[in-house]
Every structure is written in structure tokens, then in C-alpha cells.
Chains A and B, each alone.
Chain A
Amino acid sequence: MDNFSNLLDGFSIAFSLFHLALMAVGVLLGILVGVLPGLGAPNGVSLLLPLTFTMDPVSAIILLTSMYWGALFGGSTTSILFNIPGEPSSVATTFDGYPMAQQGHATHALTLAFMSAGSGAMFGVVVITLLSGWVTEFALQFSSPEYFAVFLLTFASFIGMGSGSAWKAVVSMMLGFACATVGMDGISGNMRLTFGFSELVKGISFLVAVIGLFGLGELMQTMEEGLRFDGIHARIRIRDVFKAVASMPGHWLTLLRSAVIGCWMGITPGGPTAASFMSYGLAKRFSRNKDNFGKGEPAGVVAPETADHSAGTCAILPMLALGVPGSATAAVMMGGLMIWGLTPGPMLFIERPDFVWGTIASMYLGNVMAVVLVLATVPMFAAILRIPFSIIGPLIVVVCFIGAYTISGSRLDLWLALPFGVLGYVFKKLGYPIAPMVLAMVLGDKAEDAFRQSMMMSKGSLSIFWTNSPLVATIMVLAVLLLSWPLVSAVLKRFRKVA
């Protein structure tokens, strides 16, 4: 129980009035940047970085990580209320969160999201506490073939899920892959599919696509139906909050499954975005209310939120122990670590246990604080919905385009958001699923890089995906099983009917 006594030491470092105040400030600022699409956690953290130069490293990391938690929570708020994911990892939350809000259950959905997120994060911190030594070993096992297998598993858990036409899903996914290839190819250094436009060298930002497909596409649909958010009852009842909290235990299986997926993806590091998609896919597959997913199923909010946050929390560990940032935000924090005079790596645990365990202890405190603070903001956000649509609609449009512009300060992105908006609108009306496109855009280039790196390692032999390690073989088998699941279950069904 060495870890436990270390953790207690950590608490004694992290628990002070100054640190609690820092946490509150960090969380609130984080919620603010998380709510605005375009201003994400990386922006917020790099902005606060200069402030931390003169701080003690423990205080500095507490401020930055708290901001990160806040941003993760804030990202879910806009996903649920306006169908605009503030962060890539909260895309999957829109699938059921937004329909819930439309049906008048905004408070329920928000509370559910925050509670699941908090539970996921807690689960993640406990895993970190218990397994800190072993996790490093595990993460070191991962090389390109294993990464590719993990990405394949994510795709596999998501495929064959849509109820619509399979070929439309294929078109959607291929469009996503095509967008992901635009820009510099990391393996060969070539500029692919830029057609001579220097603005395209950096690639098509996933966030621009999401703002267009989800935010603008949704607005166009709303306008066409002349709906003006009618479905949403903006009245907030504290009772709704408690009711949602009380319903949490009923989701224990989804919570547990999603938390495990999240931890696994956070450590490996497949990342929070992949984790939330995978967890949503599996929740749907194993649910009894399969058909209600995408139409406002509470479990469809619980699953991605839990996985997102447990992955986000667990990703801090590889950052500290290996110096691999699991996300853009973690990368900024790592830069901070170096400026504060710390070297991330395995020795950090031995040289600066006070810093490591202070950070871990602050994660417990910070997440509890984040849940409380963000729940307190629910009435405020729900009140936004009471503003007449003829004002809030154009304001959302403005926020969407500002978000698109700020991602990389490029004029082209303003123009790109428009066609993505039209695409989102048309696709939705014609029954093309949008989720496969988003998933392909997020993971497409990573999967391709991992595949090509593996091929370079094996000199072109595909057998590397089976023979490289027992780990890669296991994941590949899982992926193939999941891929063939619809087929298997169909055969089983027919079999039963005959018998």
C-alpha cells in the first residue's frame, strides 16, 4: 500500500486554501473556453502558461489541470444544448444529448452528462492511484501495429450500427477519410490533395467540419422546420437535477463498461475521442433499447461522457511517466513542465514524488469541484434557451464562424464551414449518417500513419499485425469479432427461428 501512503502525502500538499482557490479559478475558466467552440482547452492552458512561470510547479499544474477538467465539462454543455461539440471528444455526446434537450429534457441530459463524467474521472484517478507503476510498463508495449489494431477496434465497434443504408454509411466514412488525407503526409512528407493551395497544407481541421456538419447543419434543419427550439422547455427545476442524479445507479453497467474502455484508451493512448466513440458504439450494441439510441436515450449520454473523462484523466499518467502527451492539451502542459524545471519521464516519480502525488491528489479534489461548479452553471446555460430564437439563432451562427476562424486563424476555414453546413443538412435529410464521417476524420490519418509505420517495420508484410506481440494479436481478434458481429448475430437469429 505504498501508493496509498504516497497519495495521503499528496493530499497534504494539494489541500490548501490557495490550491482550492486555484482549482475554482481553473475550472471556471475551463468551462468558459470549453463552451466556446474554437477556444479549446489547449488555448486556455497555453494562455495561462506564462502566469505559471513564477509559481511553484504543484500549484501550476493544479491550475492547468483544473482548467482542463473545466473545459472537458464545458464541451459537453454546448453539445447537448446546441448540437455544437466544444471539444472533439464530446462529439458522441451530441448523438443522444441533443435529442434529449429537444424533447425538453435538457436539465436531465446535462446533469446526467456531468455526473457520468465525474464518475468516469473518479474511476480514472483510482486506476491511476492503484496502477501507477504498472501502467508505464503497459504503455511501453505499444508500437505502431498495436496502435493500428486499437484504431481498427474503434472502427469495428462503430460499424454496422446505423439503421439506414449501409452504402450511405460507406460514402460518409470515405468522405471523412478523404478529408483526413488532405495536407502534409507525415510518412513521406508529400503534400497530398492540396491542389496547390497553400492554405490546405495544414489539412482540413476536424473542428471546422464538426462546426459545419453539426452546428450549422442543425440550425438549417431547425429553420426549415420553422421549429425555433419549441420543444425545449427552458424551465429549470432543481427536482430534475435530483431526479437525474437518482437515476445514475440504474446505469451502473454502462458506467462500468465505459469507464474501463476509457481507462484503457487513455493509457494506451488511443485518446478520449476514440474512447467516447467506442464506448457509445458498444453501449448501443449491448443495449436492450437499441432502437432508441440517437433519439434521446439516456445511456447514449452516459456512455461517451464516462469514457471521455476516464480517458482524459488516465492520459495524464503517460504524460507524466513517459513524456507522451495523450492530447493537445497534455502537450501544452508538458511544455509547461519543462519550463518549470521538471523532466517528464519515469524518473519523475522517483525524483519528485511530491509533485506527482500532489498532482494525482489534486485530480480527486479538482474533479469533485468541477462537478459541483458545473452543476451550478446548469440553470445559467438552460436559461440561454429562453432567449427568443430570432436572437439566439444568429448569435449561434456568429459563435460557430468565430470558432471556425480561431482554430487556426485562417480565412479559408470561414468558407469551409459553409459547405460542411450544407453537407450536414443534406445528409441528415437524405439519411446519410454523419458519425462515420467524423470518426474517419479524427482517426483516419492516425490509423494510416500507424499502418504505414508498421509496414516499414515489417518491410511490407501484413503478418506483423498477428505476430508482433500477443497484445496486437488479441486486439486484432477482438476487432475481427466485432466486425463480424452483425453477421454472426443475424445467422444466430435465423438459426433460432429454424429451430
Chain B
Amino acid sequence: MRTTSGVLLSRFAMEIATALVTASIGAVVCFGSLEFGTGWGDAGPQPGYFPFYVGLILIFASGVNLAMALVHHRERLEAFLTTEQAHRVTAFFGPMFLFVLVSSFLGVYVGMILYLFCVMVFQGHYPVHKALAVALSAAVANYFLFEVWFQVPLLKGPLEAMLGIH
């Protein structure tokens, strides 16, 4: 197989991978529903009936998609992701992942400030003071909007506890 320059991930590989993932989700669903009986009782279907067949259909349909991918996409060297695209997506997804990671330990506010600040400075090339202003004002605005006005508590971490904010 020839490889076109810049293609990091071919559409073919991605079609196969997706079909395999959806099929395995189907398998998990089937397995999980076995616990409650998958038959048809006196009062209609048992609790596991629907999820079990949903899982089976999922596996079957994934199988068809797999076969279709083998037929249709094998010869075409269509790209799913070029190197350049991959760079852009990682540049977006990476910080987002870190934002969630930081937020789930230190709270949403800290996560939000760090995320907005870092993305603006390192990716948007804004001056530090501007980025800091946006990040802090976003946190303050959210605090008032959620905690004060609508009384919906957001996830808070040790820092808020230390500062006595609740």
C-alpha cells in the first residue's frame, strides 16, 4: 500500500476501528443485560430483553459496517486525519482534557482560570495581562451567575475551602 504524504490516519483504518469499538460496546451491553433475564415472561419482556437485543443488533450492524469498510474503503487512500489536522485537533483536545483532569481535583473554577489563561497565552498569543483579565473575569462571572444568583453549586476544590468560599 502506498502512503500519501501527510496522511496520519487513513479513513479505512478509522472505519475499521469505529466498527470494532461499537461492536464491543454492543458486547458489553449484551453481557450486562444477561444478569436480569433476557427472555419473554408472562408479563412481557424481562428487564434484560431490550438491552440484550439492542446489543445484538449493535454487534450485527457494526459487522455490516466493517464489511462495507473492507469493500468500499480499502483501495481508496482517503485520509481521516492529515498530520496538520492532527496537530490542530491535539492542540485543542489536549488542553481540554487537562482542563477536565484539573477540574475534577481542584474544582471547576481553578480549572477554568488555568485553562483559559494557558490557552490564550500559549495558543492565542495574547499578552499575559489580557489573558489573566479574561480568565479571572470568566471565573467571577460564573461564580455570581451560578452560586449567587441561581444557587447551583459548581465543583469546588481545596483552594476554595482554604479561602473560605462556598
Contact = CB atoms under 8 A, between A and B. Distances in A.
Interface residues of A, number: 64
B92 A430 contact: no
B54 A391 contact: no
A226 interface: yes
Interface string B37-52: 0001111111110110
A44 B64 CA distance: 46
B152 A43 contact: yes
B119 interface: yes
Contact of A460 (B41, B62, B115): B41
A175 B61 CA distance: 11
Given A181-B54, A405-B108, A224 B155 contact: no
A174 B120 contact: no
A430 B18 contact: yes
A406 B47 contact: no
B85 interface: yes
B152 A391 contact: no
B51 A178 contact: yes
A189 to B, nearest CB: 9
A429 B152 contact: no
A224 to B, nearest CB: 5
Nearest to A411: B104
Nearest to A388: B124
A422 B93 CA distance: 9
Contacts of B89: 220, 223-224, 425
A225 B89 CA distance: 9
Nearest to B103: A414
Nearest to B89: A224
B158 to A, nearest CB: 15
A391 B138 CA distance: 11
A456 B41 CA distance: 10
A481 interface: no
A395 B154 contact: no
Contact of A174 (B44, B58, B91, B92): B58
Contacts of A177: 50-51, 54
Interface string A141-179: 000000000000000000000000101101100110110
Contact of B25 (A178, A395, A452): A178
Interface string B18-40: 10001001100100110010001
A171 B36 contact: no
Interface stretch (A111-119, A190-198, A332-340, A467-475): A190-198
A219 interface: yes
Q: Is the interface of B mostly helix, strand, loop or mixed?
A: helix
A2 B33 CA distance: 56
Nearest to A47: B150
A181 B43 CA distance: 19
A415 interface: yes
Interface in B127-166: 134, 138, 142, 145-146, 150-155
Contacts of B152: 39, 43, 406, 409
Interface in A383-420: 388, 390-391, 393-395, 397-398, 401-402, 405-406, 409, 411, 414-415, 417-418
B77 to A, nearest CB: 16
A405 B151 CA distance: 14
Nearest to A39: B150
B111 to A, nearest CB: 8
Interface in A266-306: none
Interface in B97-126: 97, 99-100, 103-104, 108, 112, 115-116, 119-120, 123-124, 126
Contact of B103 (A170, A219, A401): A401
B54 A174 contact: yes
B91 A223 contact: yes
Given A168-B65, A178-B55, A452 B45 contact: yes
B65 A192 contact: no
B29 to A, nearest CB: 5
Given A177-B54, A452-B45, A459-B43, A171 B65 contact: yes
A171 B20 CA distance: 12
Contacts of B95: 394
B104 A391 contact: no
A430 B50 contact: no
Interface string A454-470: 11101110000000000
B20 to A, nearest CB: 12
B42 A459 contact: yes
19 contacts: A43-B150, A43-B152, A44-B150, A165-B68, A177-B51, A178-B51, A181-B50, A192-B32, A216-B96, A390-B119, A394-B95, A397-B96, A397-B99, A398-B99, A398-B138, A406-B152, A414-B100, A414-B155, A429-B14
Given A223-B89, A452-B45, 6 more contacts: A165-B65, A175-B22, A190-B36, A192-B32, A401-B108, A405-B155
